[in-house]
Amino acid sequence: MAAEVEQLKLWCVLEEKGTDQQRALVRDLIEDASPILDRVIETFPTYTLHNSLHSRNVAELMAHLLGDRLMDLSALEAALLILSAYFHDIGMVFSDQARDRLTQEPYWPEFLNRHPEAYIAIEPGRAPSTEIAENYCRWRHADRVFTYLNELAPERFRWGAVSIAFAQS
């Protein structure tokens, strides 16, 4: 996986402007995220792939959008773009146990209030259909990125003297 990340145009900025420690930080986080992303299909078998290849493509599109300005980025900006490409869908992975407990999550009632078609389609005493479960998981996936990131050790996000981790309030 490291070799794939190192082929990114954004990585070229990090290679030129970053330190070994900064590159290692990004590489290590991506190596942890990639196998998790490759499990998105388990939660969303009917969706287009949102795996590590998708993340790589997102990073390449970012570089394409920057065009001639790509090398104007700082090492930190390049790192944050790479990491955002690889972590934006990490919340789409739900384990079998998590899918079995969707209706017990505190956000389930809010989901039903915001999606009356789901509320009407649910049969009392029965598990939600695959379609409704997928819709709920997709609806919650952005918030779950914070859950995933906040479970990682804070030192994994040290960029010199500061942390680049995001804390959900």
Per residue in 116-168, pLDDT (tens digit) is 999 999 988 888 888 898 889 889 988 888 888 888 898 999 998 888 886 54
Q: What is the pLDDT confidence band of residue 43, given thresholds at 50, 70 and 90?
A: confident
The per-residue pLDDT for 1 is 57
The per-residue pLDDT for 98 is 83
Average pLDDT, the chain: 89
pTM of the complete model: 0.84
**Cα–Cα dist 25/141, whole Å:** 24
Largest CA distance in the chain: 59
Q: What is the CA radius of gyration of the chain?
A: 18
Q: How far is CA 90 from the centre of its chain?
A: 3
Q: Among the residues of 38-161, which ranges form H helices?
A: 40-43, 52-66, 75-87, 96-100, 108-114, 116-121, 130-150
Say if residues 5 and 30 touch (Cβ distance below 8 Å). Answer: yes
Strand 158-159 with 162-163, pairing = antiparallel
Q: Is the dihedral of CA 114, 115, 116, 121 positive or negative?
A: negative
